[in-house]
Amino acid sequence: MTHLVWLRNDLRVIDNCALNDACNRAKLDGQPVIAAYIATPRQWQQQHMAPIQADLIQRRLIELQRLLQQLGIPLLYAEVPLFKDVTKQIANWSAKYNVVHLYYNNQYQINEQLRDKQVNKALSSLKRHSFNNQTLIPQNTLLTGKGQPYRVFTPFKRAWLSALNQFNLLPTPCSGVIAQTVNIEQQEIAPFSYNRADSLFWPVDDKNIHKKLKGFCQRQVEHYSDKRNFPALNSTSSLSPYLANGFISPRQCLAALLAAQPDFLHNAESGAFCWLNELIWREFYIHLIAAFPNLIKGHAFHPWTEYILWSDNHDFFNAWKQGKTGYPIVDAGMRQLNSTGWMHNRLRMITASFLTKDLLINWRWGEQYFMSQLIDGDFAANNGGWQWCASTGTDAQPYFRIFNPHTQSKRFDPNGEFIRHWLPELKDVPDKALHNPQQWAKKQSLALNYPEPLINHNEARKKTLKAYYAAKELYDSEIQKRIN
C-alpha cells in the first residue's frame, strides 16, 4: 500500500500540508510515500501561462526532485495535454504502485476544482486527503455577521487579523519517511512541451529563496512602507514568483516576519505590518474567487460595469503592450514586464489604469496579457488587481479616480532613474523634462526617437468619465424596468 502526494502549485517540502500528512501516516503504517507532478501544456495555453513561468516551474521540479530524494520520496513526472487527462494518469500510477491514499492541497479555480472532482469520482476507491495550504486562513471560514463572504477588504482584514491566532502559524518541516522506498527508477524531469523563456535570474533552490525571504524581513522590511512605491529602488520583497508557484508558503512569510520583528502585529505603522497587509490582500483575492466563482468566468464584480462601452482599438492596445504609448512611466513598466516577466506593483497599477481609464480598453485584454507575461502569474491576484484598477471589482478605486501618468511619474520616479533604465532613447533628456519629454523636445527644436502620446490624458479622462457614468445610468435604468 502506497501513499501518493499529488503536487500542483505547492512545489515545496517545507510547510506542505499534503506531503507532511502523507509522511506522518506512512510512519504509522510503515508504508512508502511517492510524490507526483503532472504537466498539462494545452491547459496552460488555454490559461495563458507565461513561458517564463513554465521555465521557472520546470527548473523548480528538478530541484524538488532532489529535495524529495533526500527524504526517501521519489518524484513521478508525467505530461498530459489537459486537466481532463489527469485522471487516467493518476489511475495508472495507482494501479502500478498499489496506491491506497491520495493527498493534495486544494486549488480554488473552476477548472482545477472540476479536475479534482473528476479524479475523486473516478478513483473513489482511494482514500483522499485534501488540505488548505494556499492561504494562512482557509477559504469560507471568514464570514460577515450575516454569514456572507466579505466583499470589502478592510472588514476582511479586521476579521483575518482577529482569527489569526486560531490557526497554526508555524511552518511544518517534512521529516521524510522511514519505510523502504518504492522501487522506482529516478525519472528525468523532461522539458515541457510548452514555450519557455529564460528564468535563470530567479533562483529555485531553497537555500537562496529562504535567504531572500530572511534578508528582506531582517534588513528591508523596516523601510518597506516608505520605499515600496519607488520602482527604481530595490525596496520590495520580489518573493511573488515563489508565492504564486508555491515554492514558499504564506505561513513561512509570516514566520520570517515574526522572527525578525516579533512585535510588528502591534504596530500598524511599521514596514512589517505594511508588507503583511499585502499578504492579506493576496488572501482576500483567493477567498473572493472561492466565494464568487463568476470572477473566474470573466465577469466583473460590479454588474453595472458590464455596461461600459469599451474601445476595441487594437493599435492602441499593441502600442501599450510594446511600451510605445508616449507616456514614459507606462512604457518603462511595460518594457520591464516584457523583458523580465515581472513588474513593480506601483507600475502594475499605473499601466493597468492607463489601459482602462486613458485608452478605455477592456480590462480583460490587459488581464490576459499580464498572465501571458508574468513569472508570478496568479489568477486571483491578477484578476483582483485589474478589476481594482478598472473600478469593476470589489473594493475598487472609485471610477472617477483616474491616475494621471505624468503625476505618477513625477511622484514615484522623480529623477527618472527607472525610466532611463528601460527607455535608453530618453537618456539625454533632463530629469525634470523626462516625464513629458515631447514637450521639452519641441521647445528645444529636437527630434526624439520616442513616440508622441497616443492620447491627451485630460481629454481621455473626460471621455472615460462619460463612459462610466453612461454605463451606470443604463444599468440603473434596466434595474428600474425590471422592478416596474
To the query of whether residue 345 is one of the catalytic residues in this protein, the response is yes
**C-alpha cell at position 162:** 482577529
Q: From the candidates 9, 24, 120, 345, give the one annotated as an active-site residue.
A: 345
To the query of whether residue 281 is one of the catalytic residues in this protein, the response is yes
**What's the rounded Cα separation, in Å, for the pair 413 and 434?**
10
**What's the rounded Cα separation, in Å, for the pair 359 and 361?**
5
To the query of whether residue 310 is one of the catalytic residues in this protein, the response is yes
Q: From the candidates 9, 277, 310, 313, give the one annotated as an active-site residue.
A: 310
**What's the rounded Cα separation, in Å, for the pair 390 and 83?**
31
Q: From the candidates 202, 386, 388, 422, give the one annotated as an active-site residue.
A: 386
Across the chain, which distance is largest between two alpha carbons, in Å? 82
Residues contacting residue 459 through CB under 8 Å, at least 6 positions apart = none
Q: From the candidates 281, 304, 320, 342, give the one annotated as an active-site residue.
A: 281
Residues contacting residue 76 through CB under 8 Å, at least 6 positions apart = 34, 35, 36, 37, 93, 184, 187
CB 30 within 8 A of CB 179: yes
Q: From the candidates 222, 278, 338, 417, give the one annotated as an active-site residue.
A: 278
Q: From the candidates 363, 365, 388, 422, give the one annotated as an active-site residue.
A: 363
Active site residues: 278, 281, 310, 345, 363, 386
